[in-house]
Structure formats: structure tokens, C-alpha cells
Amino acid sequence: MSSKRPINSAINSGQSGGLGSGHLFGDPDDEPPWEETIAPGAVLLRRHASAQAEALLAAARQVVAAAPLRHLVTPGGKTMSVAMTNCGDWGWVSDRRGYRYDPIDPDSGRPWPPMPDIFREVARNAADRAGYPDFAPQACLMNLYRPGTRLTLHQDRDELDLAAPIVSVSLGLPAIFLFGGLQRGDRTRRFPLQHGDVAVWGGPSRLAFHGIAPLAEGHHPATGSVRVNLTFRKTR
Ligand code: MD3
Ligand code: FE
């Protein structure tokens, strides 16, 4: 189930020249953190991981070295455009048989790499701020987006403990996050997610439909031409 494309070196340092993101009007990555509640239980902690972003990306590269990114196949037989891997005690996997959390990487037959301490710390700190003390994630799913990659509207319901929130961290290129309601047909609102943004999805928003619009081309100094998203979950 490996990719034909060289995605495992895809999280570039981004420092290979080019025009950068343009600093004429102030760099959005340099703003101090602030918080936005977009729905009951859904809190955007804007730029809350900016100071840890380089450490998170260094740890992400270590995870990818041990458990390479791959394009999973859905139960319906479609190959996902997002490249994924996991770390922690459980990893989210999909194949023709269904979606599940598995302690073993099916590509290697070995356990997923351990969750780096910096991952745990950022996730726990964000959950604390959103009112979920002592969040102890068992799984971290890493999603890698290149230009054109999208994630269609879905619910996250493969976790047995739906009382625990999901924490997500956005790194690198910005994306348009689509946030709907509890029914697939509910209208969706669009929110930009930028480098360093952390979100906590709990309470009534835990089962909201959500997705990511096709990623636009761009260059980010921390990642080059990609976006990385980390989601932290309590799976059971
Ligand atoms: C709202 N990831 O991995 S993160 C996913 O950017 C996923 O890669 C997207 O959706 C990404 O399942 C979105 C924001 C997010 C994550 C989980 C949620 C929003 C959520 C769970 C419930 C409601
Ligand atoms: Fe999701």
C-alpha cells in the first residue's frame, strides 16, 4: 500500500529559497495567539502551537521515518488523496474491510512509533485550555496534504469514547476547513486553518461533519509545499 510518489521526504524544511509567503502586510504566522469558539464545544486556538511548530515538525519527520506515509484505501475501494501515518498506542487504518484502530502498522507488521513527548504536551495543553483537563491521547493520526489534496465531508466516529475531544494541529500551508452540522446535509461554514492553529472538538461538536477543501498551491517556510495535520484521539 505504498505511494508511487516520494511523499516520505515531503515535509521539507521549506528553506530552499523562493519568494516565501510575502511579508509586505505582516506575516500571519507571527501573530500572538487568540481563541475563537465557532460552535458549542468547538474551539479554535489560533497560533497556539506556533512556538512549538519546528519541534513538532522535527518529531513528525521521525515518525514518518519509522512509519512511512501511505495512501489508504476506503472500504469502497477508493484511494484517499491524503497521505497518512500514525504514532502512539493505536493507529487509524482503512482498507477494503473497513475503518478501525489497530496497534500494529499493517505495512510493517510492527507497532506504530511511540507518540513524541512534544506531541502529547501540545495536545494536552490545548485540551486544558478548552476545558478538558488531563487529556491523554492514545492515537495521533498524521495527515499530509499536497496541492489538490482534499478530505471529503465525514464524521469521526471510530472512537469508542465519544466523550473525549479530538485535538487537531495544523502545520505548513493553510487550508480551508469545512465545518457542518450533525447531519450530512447541514450547511457548512468555511474557516481558514493556518500554521500553528490548534483546534479542540468536543461536546456537541464531536460528531459534526467536517472536511478540507482541495489544498491550494503555495510555499510555507516551515514545510515547503505541503500541509501537515495532526489529530489526537482517545480511542477507547
Ligand atoms: C471536527 N482531519 O483526520 S482537522 C481527520 O485537517 C480530519 O486533516 C482534518 O478530519 C485535517 O479526521 C481536519 C480538524 C478536525 C478534526 C477532527 C474533528 C475537526 C473535527 C472531529 C469532529 C469535528
Ligand atoms: Fe475528521
For residue 168, pLDDT beyond 80: yes
CB 199 within 8 A of CB 132: no
Side-chain-side CA neighbours of 173 within 13 Å: the count stands at 25
Side-chain-side CA neighbours of 25 within 13 Å: the count stands at 2
Alpha-helical regions (H) of the chain: 53-66, 117-129
Among 20-34, 65-79, 179-193, 212-226, the least confident range: 20-34
Q: Does CATH number 3.30.70.20 belong to domain 34-233?
A: no
For residue 150, pLDDT beyond 80: yes
Q: pTM here?
A: 0.94
Nearest CA to ligand 1 atom 15: 168
Residues 115-144 pLDDT 10s: 999 999 999 999 999 999 999 999 999 999
**Atom nearest to 156 CA in ligand 1:** 21
Q: What are phi and psi of 143, to 5 degrees?
A: -110, 135
Which ligand is located closest to the Cα atom of residue 143? Answer: 1
Of 21 and 54, the one with more pLDDT? 54
CB of 231 closer than 6 A to ligand 1? yes
> Measured on CA atoms in the order 113, 117, 118, 120, is the torsion positive or negative?
positive
Residue 17 banded pLDDT, cuts 50, 70, 90: very low
Angle, helix 117-129 to helix 53-66, in steps of 10 degrees: 130
Name the residue ranges covered by the structural domains of the chain: 34-233
Ligand 1 centroid to 94 CA: how many Å?
16
Nearest CA to ligand 1 atom 4: 168
Residue 1 banded pLDDT, cuts 50, 70, 90: very low
